[in-house]
Structure 1
Amino acid sequence: MSDNMKPVHMFVTSWCPYCKQALSWMKELRTEDPKYTDVDIKIIDEERQPEIAKKYDYYYVPTYFVGDTKIHEGVPTKEIVKKVFDDSLK
């Protein structure tokens, strides 16, 4: 992990169809462009890790934070997931 890379926190629930879709896009992007395999992503299931989830300000899942900045909340697109990855690598 490079010094200036910011970690990504992704908040999900096990029953969220949009979370599953986002995870599949993340996998796709990593296959399409190896630089994305460097992105440090912490996936937090808000039901299993409520003490972590409570520290962040969001309502809908999936939500992405890059560092301390909320990048996206709610229904994602592949382009949004790519932006999260790109913001992390800046």
Structure 2
Amino acid sequence: MRIAVESLAEARVAAGNGDLARALDLVEDGLAALGPHYQRSGLIDDSGLKLTLAAARRRQGDAAGAFAAMERVLEDRIAAYEGRSGDAS
């Protein structure tokens, strides 16, 4: 969980500095670190579709759009994990 939160924070800094390639890599690292641990029963999860669309944007050269979508997915998954486990660290 800590890695996902730190990756999101670092990705936001990188994006703010205009380094979208690094920001995207950091968000991917955060998503990988969190893995499926955010999931809980009863959760309707369309984030996989959002990540697929973000990947298409990235391939088309829309790094900003891809980052915005991936950032939101990671943020939502972190929130879901915290809600599932009560773990904020």
TM-score bucket (shorter structure): 0.3 to 0.5
The higher-RCO structure (CA 8 Å, 6+ apart) is 1
The alignment's TM-score, normalised by the length of structure 2, stands at: 0.35
Choose between structure 1 and 2: higher helix proportion: 2
Choose between structure 1 and 2: higher strand proportion: 1
